[in-house]
Amino acid sequence: MLLLQIQKRIDRAMGVAAHAANSAHLGRSALDAVELMNVGVNFLREHMPQDCRVHYAITDTGGRAANVVQASAEVLYLIRAPDMPQALALAGRVEKVARGAAMMTETEVESVFDTASTNLLPNITLETAMHENMVTLGPIAFDEADIAFARKIQDTFTEEAIKSSIRLYQIRGDVFSNAKVDGSTPLHTGLRDFEGQSHFRAGSTDVGDVSWVTPTAQCWAPAWAIGTNPHTWQVVAQGKSPAAHKAMAHAAKTLATTGLALMTSSDLLAAAKAEWRERTGGKAYTCPIPGNVMPATVHGR
> What does the DSSP assignment read for the chain?
-PPEEEEEEEEEEE-B-EETTT-GGG-B-HHHHHHHHHHHHHHHGGGS-TT-EEEEEEEE-S-S-TTEE-SEEEEEEEEEESSHHHHHHHHHHHHHHHHHHHHHHT-EEEEEEEEEEPPP---HHHHHHHHHHHHHH-S----HHHHHHHHHHHTTS-HHHHHHHHHHTT----TTT----SSSSSS--S-----SSPPP-S---THHHHHTTS---------S-TTPPSSSHHHHHHTTSHHHHHHHHHHHHHHHHHHHHHHH-HHHHHHHHHHHHHHHTTPPP--SS-TT--PPPPP--
Which ranges of the chain have pLDDT less than 50? Answer: 1-3, 301
Q: What is the pLDDT of residue 179?
A: 66
CB atoms within 10 A of CB 298: 6
| Structural domains of the chain ordered from first start | 4-117 (3.30.70.360), 124-280 (no CATH)
The verdict on pTM exceeding 0.75 is yes
Q: For residue 2, what pLDDT is reported?
A: 38
The reported pLDDT for the residue numbered 169 is: 75
Gap between the Cα atoms of 80 and 116, Å rounded: 9
Instruction: Compute φ and ψ for 226, nearest 5 degrees.
Output: -60, 125
